[in-house]
C-alpha cells in the first residue's frame, strides 16, 4: 500500500520546535503523530520535560520497531517495552516509582495492515469523517476549570485579563491533574484512559480502525480543537478559537488556556496524506 503526503506541520506552543512535545514520524511502514503528555511534576528526564522525553524516545525508534511486528497491537507492546526501559534507565536507584511517568498518546497509520491504531486522545479524519478521541476525565477537568474561572470573574475575585499571566482555573484543577496518572490504563474506573507510559496497555484502550477503501487520512494531536480536512482550514479554526475564547473556558472549555508568550494553548502536529 503506497501513500502520498499532502501536508504536514509541527509547532510548539511557544512557537519553537525544540521544546515541542509533539512529533511526526513518516516511514515506509508507518505514519504517526505522537503527543507527549504535559508534565505536572517538574521532573526532568535527560534535561527535558517528561512529555518531550517520552515522545522523542518513541519517535526515534518507531520506524525500526514498526518493521518487526505481526499485529498493530504488537506495535503498542513494543513501544511500551522500549519506553519502560528508557524511563528506568533515567531513574535513580531506589527512586519512588509511584509517580506520573513520562507518557504519550499517539495515532498511526500502518499501511501493511490497512489500519489506524490509536492509544489516547489524538484525533484523526478518515475521508472527511472526524474521530476526536476525547476522554471523559479531560471533559470533567475542563468543565471544573471553566466553572471556577466563571465564578471567580463573577465574584470579582480576579480579572479575566490576569488569567493570561496566571491561570487560576488550572491551579484549581492541578490537584486532579497531578493524580490523573492513577487512571492511566485503568480498566476499573469510569475515568480510565489509555496511554503509553511503560505499563501494559489493556487491549480495550488500543483502538483499531480499518482504512480499507479509504483515500484521504488526516492525523493530528489534540492541539487542534477542531480538526479539518486541510491544514489551512484547521489553522483557521484554531485562530478562530484563540480569538473568540483564548483562555478556553467559555465556548471551548479546556484544561488550559493561552498564556502570555505563547502562540497557542498547546503544541500541535498535523499530517495529511492520500492512499
Q: 136-166 pLDDT, tens per residue?
A: 999 999 999 999 999 999 999 999 999 999 9
Average pLDDT of the chain to the nearest whole number: 95
| Parent domain of 150 | 4-274
| Amino acid 238: pLDDT | 98
Instruction: Assign residue 141 the CATH number of its domain.
Output: 3.60.40.10
State whether residue 5 is helix, strand or coil.
strand
Q: How far apart are CA 204 and CA 114, in angstroms?
A: 20
The 10 Å Cβ neighbour count of residue 40 is: 17
CA atoms within 13 A on the CB side of 128: 0
| Amino acid 235: pLDDT | 98
Q: 20-73 pLDDT, tens per residue?
A: 999 999 999 999 999 999 988 778 899 999 999 999 999 999 999 999 999 999
Please report which confidence band the pLDDT of residue 17 belongs to, taking 50, 70 and 90 as the band edges.
confident
| Amino acid 201: pLDDT | 98
Q: How far apart are CA 120 and CA 84, in angstroms?
A: 17
pLDDT at 93 over 80: no
pLDDT at 95 over 80: no
| Amino acid 108: pLDDT | 98
pLDDT at 1 over 80: no
Q: How far apart are CA 130 and CA 112, in angstroms?
A: 23
Query: Structurally, how many domains does the chain consist of?
Result: 1
Q: 167-226 pLDDT, tens per residue?
A: 999 999 999 999 999 999 999 999 999 999 999 999 999 999 999 999 999 999 999 999
Q: How far apart are CA 143 and CA 20, in angstroms?
A: 26
pLDDT at 96 over 60: no
Q: Is the dihedral of CA 67, 131, 219, 129 positive or negative?
A: positive
| Amino acid 40: pLDDT | 83
CB 17 within 8 A of CB 25: no
| Amino acid 94: pLDDT | 45
pTM > 0.75: yes or no: yes
Q: How far apart are CA 218 and CA 205, in angstroms?
A: 21
Amino acid at each position: 500500500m503506497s501513500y502520498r503526503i499532502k501536508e504536514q506541520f509541527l509547532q510548539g506552543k511557544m512557537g519553537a520546535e525544540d521544546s515541542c512535545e509533539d512529533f511526526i514520524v513518516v516511514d515506509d511502514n508507518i505514519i504517526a503523530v505522537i503527543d507527549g503528555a504535559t508534565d505536572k511534576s517538574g521532573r526532568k528526564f535527560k534535561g527535558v520535560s517528561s512529555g518531550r522525553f517520552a515522545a522523542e524516545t518513541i519517535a526515534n525508534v518507531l520506524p525500526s520497531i514498526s518493521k518487526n511486528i505481526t499485529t498493530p497491537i504488537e506495535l503498542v507492546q513494543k513501544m511500551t517495552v522500549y519506553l519502560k526501559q528508557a524511563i528506568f534507565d533515567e531513574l535513580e536507584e531506589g527512586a519512588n516509582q509511584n509517580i506520573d511517568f513520562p507518557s504519550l498518546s499517539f495515532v498511526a497509520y500502518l499501511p501493511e495492515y490497512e489500519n489506524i491504531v490509536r492509544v489516547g486522545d489524538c484525533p484523526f479524519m478518515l475521508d472527511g469523517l472526524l474521530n476526536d478521541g476525547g476522554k471523559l476525565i479531560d471533559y470533567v477537568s475542563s468543565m471544573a476549570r471553566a466553572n471556577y474561572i466563571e465564578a471567580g470573574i463573577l465574584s470579582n475575585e480576579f480579572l479575566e485579563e490576569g488569567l493570561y499571566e496566571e491561570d487560576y482555573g488550572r491551579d484549581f484543577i492541578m490537584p486532579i491533574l497531578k493524580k490523573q496518572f492513577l487512571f492511566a490504563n485503568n480498566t476499573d474506573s469510569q475515568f480510565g484512559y489509555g496511554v503509553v507510559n511503560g505499563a501494559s496497555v489493556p487491549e480495550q484502550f488500543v483502538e483499531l480502525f480499518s482504512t480499507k477503501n479509504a483515500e484521504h487520512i488526516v492525523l493530528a494531536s489534540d492541539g487542534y480543537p477542531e480538526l479539518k480536512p486541510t491544514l489551512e482550514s484547521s489553522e483557521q479554526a484554531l485562530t478562530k478559537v484563540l480569538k473568540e475564547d483564548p483562555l478556553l473556558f467559555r465556548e471551548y472549555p479546556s484544561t488550559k488556556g493561552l498564556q502570555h508568550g505563547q502562540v497557542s494553548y498547546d503544541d500541535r502536529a498535523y499530517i495529511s496524506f492520500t492512499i
